[in-house]
Structure formats: structure tokens, C-alpha cells
């Protein structure tokens, strides 16, 4: 399986504990990137409780304390670094992580390509 990099955004667009950047993953699925404690983290934008998007307003993934990612529907709180749900109806489950890298002022998604 080959890998390729897809440009998501410029590094400066992803502000520490600020708004996340959404990007398409499939026809009806999105992913998102956030910056937390300097590092970039990416997840599929689907709650581990019910598969709905997390952000209460487009790109708003952090709770008021800016320490957790929060689901707008029933309030599940996720650790931004691991994606594990630490509070809420899906406690112990986790968001699906995505591979993101930051290089030369840009953030890329690492995608796997299947060859048939
Ligand atoms: S759908 Fe996210 S907490 Fe219920």
C-alpha cells in the first residue's frame, strides 16, 4: 500500500487551542486538525457515541477551557492528544486518529492508496 501526502493548510492557520481546520475524507465524512500544546492532531470528525460531527459551529472543537475536544450533541469530552473520551456517554472509547505531519510551514494528511 503506497502513501501520499495531501496538503491540508498552512501551519499558521492552525492556532494553538484555537479553531480547527476541517477537510473532506469521503463523500459525507470530514476530518479535522487542531493544534494542542504545539503539536498537530487529526481525527475523523465523528463522535464515538453516535456518528455525528463533533463541532458545534464549523471548526469549533474545543470546549470553553480549551483543554478538551467536545461533541456538540451530548457533550462527550475527548483528550486532544489521544482522542480518548474522558467524560460523557462514550467514556473509554476514542476518536479515529488520522496521520498528519507538519513540515516546512505546511500541514499534510498522510493517505494510504490501495492498488487493485
Ligand atoms: S453524539 Fe457525541 S456525545 Fe452523543
Pocket test for ligand 1, best of 43, 47, 93 (most atoms within 8 A of CB): 47
pLDDT score of 116: 42
pLDDT score of 26: 86
Percent of residues, the chain, with pLDDT higher than 90: 90
How many CB atoms are closer than 10 A to CB 9? 15
Q: In angstroms, rounded to a whole number, what is the distance separating the alpha carbons of residues 48 and 8? A: 23
Task: Examine the pLDDT at 73 and tell me if it is beyond 60.
Answer: yes
User: In total, how many domains does the chain have?
Assistant: 1
Contact by Cβ (8 Å): 69, 97 = no
Pocket test for ligand 1, best of 74, 77, 96 (most atoms within 8 A of CB): 74
Return the CATH number at 37: 2.102.10.10
Task: Examine the pLDDT at 51 and tell me if it is beyond 90.
Answer: yes
C-alpha distance from residue 87 to each of 71, 97, 106, 107 (Å): 11, 18, 32, 29
Identify the bridge partners of residue 32 per DSSP, sorted by sequence position: 22, 43
3-state secondary structure of 13: helix
Contact by Cβ (8 Å): 79, 39 = no
pLDDT band, residue 115 (cuts 50/70/90) = low
pLDDT score of 11: 98
How many CB atoms are closer than 10 A to CB 4? 10
Ligand 1: nearest atom to the Cα of 76: 3
Which residue has better confidence, 56 or 49?
Answer: 49
81-91: average pLDDT: 97
Ligand 1: nearest atom to the Cα of 54: 2
Residue 68: give the domain boundaries: 2-113
Amino acid at each position: 500500500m503506497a502513501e501520499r501526502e495531501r496538503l491540508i493548510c498552512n501551519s499558521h492557520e492552525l492556532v494553538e487551542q484555537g479553531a480547527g481546520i476541517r477537510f473532506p475524507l469521503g463523500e459525507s465524512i470530514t476530518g479535522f486538525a487542531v493544534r494542542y500544546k504545539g503539536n498537530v492532531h487529526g481525527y475523523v470528525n465523528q463522535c464515538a457515541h453516535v456518528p455525528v460531527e463533533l463541532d458545534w459551529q464549523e471548526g469549533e472543537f474545543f470546549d470553553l477551557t480549551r483543554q478538551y475536544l467536545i461533541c456538540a450533541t451530548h457533550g462527550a469530552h475527548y483528550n486532544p492528544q489521544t482522542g480518548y473520551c474522558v467524560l460523557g456517554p462514550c467514556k473509554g472509547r476514542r476518536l479515529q486518529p488520522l496521520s498528519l505531519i507538519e513540515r516546512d510551514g505546511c500541514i499534510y494528511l498522510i493517505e494510504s492508496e490501495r492498488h487493485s
